[in-house]
Structure 1
């Protein structure tokens, strides 16, 4: 009586249901880091996913978590797939029941004193899966310097998902971009905090943000120079946090020091900013005589508290961008 239903249920045993995934308008498919601590969302070019990526390993562009290629579906794709698979199964069972009902009804004799019929309600249901929709286009598109794989992110990316390589140049410029974003967002952040927790907390937070911009810039330049310097050997510890020593190291490697890309005044300004970062990191921003002597900054006296302005941050970004580009060109890493 229920031959079609039994056959359908037997066919479902061990069966897999394929759920299509749409690409966005630029041909990218959505991926998500499977690490619960990260879950970073990004996109990869569909052709490159087929031709350049390996099944054995894919890397997260944010945290470099490594996992096989079949573990990078997004949470939304997984939930959509579960829902669509259930729709397909229900539809096939419903249609098998309808087929059995029709066969049963045709088999009944019209001349019988007692007649029986079977009815399946709900109408014909679909037995195909709808594709998972693509998320909005991500504006920051990247091509890996090492393997040429194309991927896209929101914000920043540090590693290629296809080969795991870290681009020293891209990471450096991303770091400078993040510093600029912090500086440019200060008014918005301050107003939001003032409305939420009060003006005092808003002022303290924004002052701290400005001060961390100096530290972030110095650290970004240090890591950038360490990466560029690798072909020449291992750089001395933290040498690129010291302007004169870093310049001399590059002069030995490239026959060019920082003065090849910055004017004397710009080098002097960079030294002052580096000393400001040092006094913030090691003396909580309280000026000492050593700072006055080493920086040549006559605007402060020992015992004062350092003030970091948005102008300081803008100058630092401009000088680090100019110096970083010059070093990158000289090292063939543009």
Structure 2
């Protein structure tokens, strides 16, 4: 009887394949329970660039060996497949044992004994885990050239852990644009779910944070790009005139090489509005009027941030970032 279960006894493990999506990317998931970020990696790069000892989460930079990055769905599928294979082997063994027993019985005997086994026809092979839909944002690491894709944003390369200041800046601009493009949707949803008052408060706050997000994103981009040229003074790139002069010394080009004087004036007002929002609850003081040259407000008023302000900020920052990356030789 033990021979009937020989195949089952010799089973060491069950191998379950994982399909790639239509673009050749494989699903991965951060093993940190605090994150569990889903992303994809190019399957060729996973074999040729990624290392067994360490992979990094594109969102939180959690580090773990390569064999810990299966998705929750893949693990669950593998468990189900393993159970089906073991069940299939048990049923196959019982069926073989039944046939063997029946063949061993003497024919034409006065007493006839036979065994009958009805299994469920379970399979003894596995079906690969299906790939999730392709993700929209495809990224190529500027450091190790590995390719990966995400939904939303990514801050780190999963193959080498590199943080790209240009990718982070690009993601920041996309997030700001997503906020401002969906203001009306948010307003309508909150008006329906709560009240018109709360809807307006939330939307105004969203518009104001867009200004702050844009200025900080530009500062971080400049700080990252400037590192090869030295250490910039603290928060220098939040001050347009000082930042422009630093770039003039570093790469022989200043902001007026990439944007017009009118755009510099508008950008300066927006940077000063950000300063007011961060440090004075948006209430206009003499310093704001002096530094911004904004004649629309008097001391004691509160500034207003319009959708058009955010759109202008995005457009001007994009021009500056393109010029800076070109001037710094960033591909």
* TM-score under structure 1 length normalisation: 0.96
Instruction: Return the offset for 1:123.
Output: 4.2
Match of 1:279 in 2: 276
Instruction: Return the offset for 1:3.
Output: 3.2
**Number of residue pairs aligned between Structure 1 and Structure 2:** 331
The answer on whether the counterparts of 2:53 and 2:66 sit within 8 Å (CA) in structure 1 is yes
Match of 1:18 in 2: 15
Q: Matched residues in 1 for 2:290 and 2:136: separation?
A: 46
Query: Out of 146, 151, 155, which is 2:148 matched to?
Result: 151
Of 88-97 and 110-119, more deviation after overlay is shown by: 110-119
Q: Matched residues in 2 for 1:30 and 1:173: separation?
A: 24
Q: Matched residues in 1 for 2:20 and 2:203: separation?
A: 40
SS of residue in 2 equivalent to 1:248: helix
Match of 1:4 in 2: 4
Instruction: Return the offset for 1:113.
Output: 3.0
The answer on whether the counterparts of 1:2 and 1:97 sit within 8 Å (CA) in structure 2 is no
SS of residue in 2 equivalent to 1:55: coil
Q: Matched residues in 2 for 1:61 and 1:93: separation?
A: 43
Query: Out of 66, 70, 73, which is 1:69 matched to?
Result: 66
Q: Matched residues in 1 for 2:212 and 2:200: separation?
A: 19
CA deviation map 1:106-137 (0-9, x unaligned): 11123333322222212432100110000001
Match of 1:296 in 2: 293
Match of 1:192 in 2: 189
Instruction: Return the offset for 1:278.
Output: 0.4
Match of 1:124 in 2: 121
SS of residue in 1 equivalent to 2:44: helix
Q: Matched residues in 1 for 2:325 and 2:276: separation?
A: 29
C-alpha RMSD of the superposition: 1.2
Q: Matched residues in 2 for 1:175 and 1:35: separation?
A: 24
Query: 5 Å matches for 1:181-330?
Result: 181-330=178-327
1:34 aligns with 2:31: yes
- Show structure 1 runs of 5+ residues with no match: none
Q: Matched residues in 1 for 2:279 and 2:120: separation?
A: 75
1:164 aligns with 2:158: no
SS of residue in 2 equivalent to 1:43: strand
Q: Matched residues in 2 for 1:37 and 1:235: separation?
A: 35
SS of residue in 2 equivalent to 1:128: coil
SS of residue in 2 equivalent to 1:193: helix
SS of residue in 2 equivalent to 1:170: helix
* TM-score under structure 2 length normalisation: 0.97
Of 289-298 and 25-34, more deviation after overlay is shown by: 289-298
Instruction: Return the offset for 1:249.
Output: 1.1
SS of residue in 2 equivalent to 1:63: coil
SS of residue in 1 equivalent to 2:10: helix
Of 229-238 and 105-114, more deviation after overlay is shown by: 105-114
The answer on whether the counterparts of 2:135 and 2:151 sit within 8 Å (CA) in structure 1 is yes
Match of 1:44 in 2: 41
Instruction: Return the offset for 1:250.
Output: 1.1
Match of 1:108 in 2: 105
Match of 1:59 in 2: 56
CA deviation map 1:296-332 (0-9, x unaligned): 1111111111110001001111110011111110000
The answer on whether the counterparts of 1:44 and 1:151 sit within 8 Å (CA) in structure 2 is yes
Of 112-121 and 72-81, more deviation after overlay is shown by: 112-121
Q: Matched residues in 2 for 1:111 and 1:123: separation?
A: 32
Q: Matched residues in 2 for 1:8 and 1:260: separation?
A: 75
The answer on whether the counterparts of 2:95 and 2:119 sit within 8 Å (CA) in structure 1 is no
CA deviation map 1:153-194 (0-9, x unaligned): 111111111111122212111111111111001111111122
Of 25-34 and 164-173, more deviation after overlay is shown by: 164-173
Q: Matched residues in 2 for 1:266 and 1:10: separation?
A: 76
The answer on whether the counterparts of 2:8 and 2:89 sit within 8 Å (CA) in structure 1 is no
The answer on whether the counterparts of 1:2 and 1:100 sit within 8 Å (CA) in structure 2 is no
